[in-house]
Structure 1
């Protein structure tokens, strides 16, 4: 949720505080690969916002670098728990939904997610995601497995806060 100049954002919920470094808008470039597709480059923007509840809203969009043509988008919710675990639900523009569970390390600023469910996907079987903040830049890596390929790198990007 964004706030105009007349409204102040609500106080940060204590369970969101350890990963509050994610909050805001991030933009950068990434690259994709997988054995069944040609490698590609893309531009990307992520947004993380909060409403004072124990959850962070997440949205992502990507575009072709050369033309600006829209590519993939997804949105969802990140629910950190006081014990260092996190649950994430994501709906992709392709119709795939993910339920991810994992851990966050507030000191190292690393979040590791592993799919518990990949729904409405005829080929995708498993997805893992790792987000890390290093020197003020948010980087991530996504690995994927399908009916015919084991879990392996699919996407990676480095984003700057804007």
Structure 2
């Protein structure tokens, strides 16, 4: 299956083929390999990925391999898959951290973010225009909800990669 086709691209065609009752094995053969193309092809159901610039014997071997049910990826596509996975992992960790912080009430989240920046309870209270006791209560409540201590919450804020001020 070629990626670049006139009406429907090869990834969408692969996805449609995989919805058939007796779906065929699909090997992507293309000269294109923009970022995430291999990952998208695999998600669509492709069992292999080769370049038109690969040696003819390699292409034939990979076609036969896919027909036999064995995944077939040339070296470049293997590297791209690994790169795509390593790039998506930090994003998912970031998104999970953001989701946890987003579940906190605004004032608790603000206190946690200030604590993560290194402010003391007194400084947090001053910046938030609340008493130190209330600042401690916000941090304690957030820690209980997140089931983590102050250092772990600071790491969570770092992982969330939020702008300095919400």
TM-score when normalising by structure 2: 0.19
TM-score (norm 1): 0.20
Greater relative contact order: 1 or 2 (C-alpha under 8 angstroms, separation 6 or more)? Answer: 1
Structure with greater proportional strand content: 1
Q: Max radius of gyration: which structure?
A: 2
* More helix by percentage: 2
